[in-house]
Chain A
Amino acid sequence: MKIKNRYDVVVVGGGPAGSVAARYVAEAGLSVIILEKDRDIGYPVRCGEAVAHEGLEQFIDIDPKFISSYIDKFIMVDPTGQEVEFPLGGIKGYVLDRKIFDYELAKIAAKNGAEILTKAYVYGLIFKDGKVSGVKFEFQGEKYEIECDVVIGADGVESRVGRWGGLKTYVNFKEMESAASYTIANANIDPNALYFYFGENVAPQGYLWVFAKGNNSANVGIGIGGEIAKKKSALKYLDEFMETHFPNVQILTKVAGGVPCVPTLEKISAPGLILVGDAARQVNPLTGGGIYSAMVGGQVGGKIVAEAIKSRNLNHIFSYDKAWDERMGHRHKIFNNIKNSIYKFKDDKYINLANAINKIPKNERTFGKLFRTALINQPSLLIDVAKVFW
């Protein structure tokens, strides 16, 4: 492939946010290249891989080839081991095979005309007249520069593109979830369930997940608050859980990661630059889920960038901040308020909650009821709960 020295748009990072952004830019008839630092799109997988059907279908035709398991229930586990089941009333979500899923998203971008280059590490931005006007990157030991109208930073939790462009992307370490996960074989669990374990000893200021991944395998991971990680690492918590819950399983993969559980950055656009996905801190701060919100960020951002370039009004990219906030950002602020309260829960609070929910018949349990019960003593948060849960 010949790398041109000018594109309308350069996307830094080939995850879901980057691929979706590139797709919408390409769909508008503009030239775009995705620069991915790793040798593969979609790998390594630093993710729990769970996503709701409702969100996913907006972006891709559901195909069994990237679905590891079909989810019809959540199971919350309290610190005593008591399970609380939430039937979802049918298949409402999936655990993805991100390696294949991310490929498919990139292929959609490519089909629309986007170019993709892997093993391309962006190490700096080019500026012209106070505006970002391109990127500098290394590829196969050589240094290159590409000029463009707009750079889309989709470079993940480790994003530096935003900082270079003058945006404050730094995350307070207390609000970064330190995460570690395993893919395991021989997991004897419900094949259609997402398990969430809570408790001060299991996963303080976060949760531990066990997500069925088909053929008796599972994605087992943990996210803990930064202040907790300071005293004991995510990996230590995870290994302790494995010893007590899955002593005889085989570990197929082991990855580390960080989840920025914060509301979206105050500013996600700058002259010639926007950020999407984890780079913009568009993760749902309550759940730590980021696949869907990254794709929405990529879609909203990609479309606005394309409009700006086609109308020759690059200032139009600044409308992305508001568009994102209206589409999803404002909800994330509410989720963050709820998270801040739940993170303070002690074990007895989780146990009382589990007892209370288990008294409700299974098919009458809703997340609204769960959070209303959990936050019953905090009336101001109950209003927030009413805004985001039915």
Chain B
Amino acid sequence: MGPVQVVRSPPAAPDSSGPSDGALVVAARDGEPWAREALFRRYARMVFALAYRLLGRDHEIDDLAQDCFTQALASLHRLEDPQAFGGWLTAIVVRTAHKLLRRRGVAARLGLGRRQEPIDTEALVSRSAPADVQIELRAVYRILDGLPAKMRIALVLRRVEGASQDEVAEYLGVSISTAKRLIVEADLRLEAALADPSPRSTP
């Protein structure tokens, strides 16, 4: 795992009752199994949900969540601020998802790997979402598989997670100018998809 910077606020705050993240991280570093499990259970839903939104498919997120927690729990000693565990873990999820998508893209170009079913945008988006939100989210996920891995992550972080340009840059480990470029290009493709709501439209 490459160096991971700490992002202050995770996209979704888990239950904060009980010991603080800092206390759990310190105890986990000291080898306490219960603290490791407590961290896992505190953040499992956040990781599952973020992985789901980044990948767009439910069947892949167990593996991704497992990878992310394995990395995080094995490298707790690298976390400078124990209280920032949530943001640090979020960054790990983003980068692990990016690696997975990049590997898959390479495999697809080489004619290797399993062909993915299209993302089921109807099932993905909650029916309780307002109409305009449903239209936007379905457009996002309709074009997702056609985007390069990094742009795809940037689009989800920006349009679904509501991340700022700075946060997109930090999570992806790119410069702010690169993040801006990715977001602008992804927004252009999204705009085209919104203008052509055909389910088969692929930019």
The judgment on whether A and B are partners is no
Which residues of B are interface residues toward A (Cβ below 8 A)? Answer: none
